[in-house]
Amino acid sequence: MKKLILPLMTTFLTSLWALRAEEGMWTFDNLPLKLLKEKYNFTPSEEWLTHVSQSAISLGGCSASFISPDGLMLTNHHCARGQVSAVSTSDNDLLKNGFVARSREEELKVNMSIRVLHRMLNVTDIVNAAVKPDMDAKAAESAKDAALQEAVDAMQKSTGLSCSAVRLYQGGEYWVYGYETFDDVRLVAAPEIQVAMFGGDFDNFTYPRHDLDFMLFRVYKDGAPYRPENFLKWSVQGLKAGDLTFVVGHPGTTARGMTYSQMAYARDLTTPNSIKAYERQRRVLLEYGKSGEENKRAVQTTLLGVENGLKASKGYYAGLLDEAPMARVKAREDELRARVNKDDKLKATVGNSWDQIDKALEITRDNALLMSLAQGVPTPLLTNLRGAVAQIETGDAPPPPRRPMVDRPDLNQMQLEAWLQELQAALPPQNSLVQAALKGQTPGVAAKSILASAMNDESARKALIEGGKPALEAASGDHAVALAKALAAIILDGQKKQIDADAIIKDHAARIARARFEIYGKETYPDATGTLRLTFGPVSTFEANGTLIQPFTTFGGLYDRYAGWGGNEVYAYDGAWSLPQRWLDRRHLINPDIPLNFSHSVDIIGGNSGSPVIDIRGEVVGLIFDGNITMLPGRYYYNENNNRGVSVDARAIIETLDKVMDAKHIVNEILGSGARVSANQRRE
């Protein structure tokens, strides 16, 4: 295996832009070593960093880690529900019933691809050198993209790794990351979904929590269990309040480097539009699930994802509406602009960058609602047909056919009717999209007419593409085709405007980033981009509801919350706090004092789900699965007072595997060959 090449790490400096102690999703080339030493008396060695970074895994939207020499992989239950649902049957719902492979032969192959980072190369100078003085913003971005792609291709050719372009600091830096990829991943163990998401959507983004949100997989290579050179050992000591923790994972997207105007644009337009779309989807999925147990099972995973997205978007929105922290964002920007304008050289190249970004935002403002509606069309028929029409109009290749997790005629009818209702309410009746969509009909009748299209058949869409514009014109009487043409026109126009706007924004955001480096030094972290990061902080409490919130919850608390809602007999709120029967039958075996979840001051965002939580020894002490509700504004800014990550305690995973899931063979693999569950974890 190739070693991860870590560039020389820099130290944390002090400045007017000093960060809060636990703030930051740090890249491995630029860690706050001085802060770690001064506050926690800990300096990670190069060996420690290489070991933990090469034990980390990207699932593409979630994180994971190797935890045994035989390729055992730990991640969140919620990160792989779709894959597990796909290998379930009507006779054996693995999400509902849980699963344990008793042997390697029983491990179930799932549709999952993973990546492990092995190389990082800074190519900023090469990329910036591609820009010539006479280039406008669009030409400059094209030149940078071409140079970056050349660097990606060169590394891929020289290393054999799967390489990706990485933009950090809004384009202030450009990197190439090289990954080893695996696509043979097999399910080893999963608890029941009812304990993995105990409390359902009500408890999502809250704390205290009582969730066993974990799954175990095994990674295979060439038909045999993969033997990683680096994997994380499991802690036998456990955590206590105040202990330092590290999270190694792949946070998805933050926007802290945006200008204030960009955040205001998200506040006024994009985020409210997203919330409306999520609310519509949730309403339809809940209604569909009420029509039968099989329907409920079919949409369960999709519904959970929608509910998570809705709650997260509302949290982001609340952060954007919070005047005090947004005023601090504005003050920090004003300070930087003032410093730029005092330097003649910087003023010449960066002084008007904020104004240029404002002008670029205006390019897309007028059609933001139309784009949101057009991109949010819910049925695979219209999504695929829209792509076919776009290919005919532009000659570009269409996106791959959309194959949703649940594709049922009755659900498609409900989803499309709800979208048409939203369209009708949002736009005037004379709008061309409304006219193409409804044709003077009610949403219900129009949905039936659209879904009756001959273009439901993939071969019909292929024939349409092959026939080109004449075939498209001949098929325009088809309701679905007419609507797809209207949707494609909106999206193609919107994409053109977005490309023009993005070129300006990328150019000037990079200028602002370089000015920030020059004024303050590279003492901060870049926005999250789905790439490998390290964040840290102690197990800690916080103030809420007029009190201090406990740092740990326990198995005893799980059963207390279950009883407090009346147990399975009451089945309150669709059983959000009910428990599977075997958890009641084996209650006497479980130590009620073992920590189940814990709260810690770590700076995380979506995408960190499934990240291992490790201690200073580099050993697993937990598994990130959520944050509290006041963590969500962290998409735009960090609040040290109440920004908390929420993790499954490593001791709870061992207790569950041992006492409830009859998986001592897995416990022994995790703890080491021939190891046994320690005495303080047993309660006979």
Task: Say whether pLDDT at 11 is over 90.
Answer: no
Q: In the predicted model, what is the mean pLDDT of residues 271-287?
A: 96
pTM for this model (two decimals)? 0.89
Cα 615 to the center of its chain, rounded Å = 24
DSSP string spanning 68-93? STT-EEEE-STTSHHHHHHT--SS--
pLDDT in tens, 318-365: 999 999 999 999 999 999 999 999 999 999 999 999 999 999 999 999
pLDDT band at 293 (very low <50, low <70, confident <90, very high): confident
Contact criterion met (CB below 8 Å) for 288 and 411: yes
168 class by beta-carbon count within 10 Å (0-12 exposed, 13-18 middle, 19+ buried): buried
- Residues 490, 371: contact at Cβ < 8 Å? yes
Contact by Cβ (8 Å): 329, 323: no
At residue 113, the pLDDT reads: 97
pLDDT tens across 100-116, in order? Answer: 999 999 999 999 999 99
For residue 680, what pLDDT band results from cuts at 50, 70 and 90? very low
| Tens-place pLDDT, residues 232-250 | 999 998 999 999 999 999 9
CA-CA distance, 72 to 66, in Å (whole number)? 6
Which bin fits 532, alpha (ψ -120 to 50), beta or left (φ > 0)? beta
Contacts of 657 (CB under 8 A, 6+ apart): 189, 663, 664, 666, 667, 670
Tens of pLDDT, residues 167-192: 999 999 999 999 999 999 999 999 99
**In contact, 113 and 184? CB cutoff 8 Å:** no
The answer, yes or no, to whether the previous bond of 378 is cis (omega within 30 of 0) is no
Numbered ranges of CATH 2.40.10.120 in the chain: 1-113+183-249+530-684
Task: Give the pLDDT confidence score for residue 17 in this predicted structure.
Answer: 47
Residues 91-101: what's their mean pLDDT? Answer: 95
- The per-residue pLDDT of the chain, averaged, comes to 92
**pLDDT tens profile 255-267:** 999 999 999 999 9
Phi/psi of residue 249, each to 5°?
-165, -165
Digit-coded pLDDT (tens) for 42-57: 999 999 999 999 999 9
pLDDT digits (tens, 9 = 90+) for 599-654: 999 999 999 999 999 999 999 999 999 999 999 999 999 988 889 999 999 999 99
CATH code given to domain 1-113+183-249+530-684: 2.40.10.120
Query: What is the pLDDT, as a whole number, of residue 402?
Result: 67
List, for residues 370-394, the tens digit of each pLDDT value.
999 999 999 889 998 998 999 998 8
CB atoms within 10 A of CB 546: 5
Task: Output the pLDDT for position 399.
Answer: 65
pLDDT of 4 reads 58
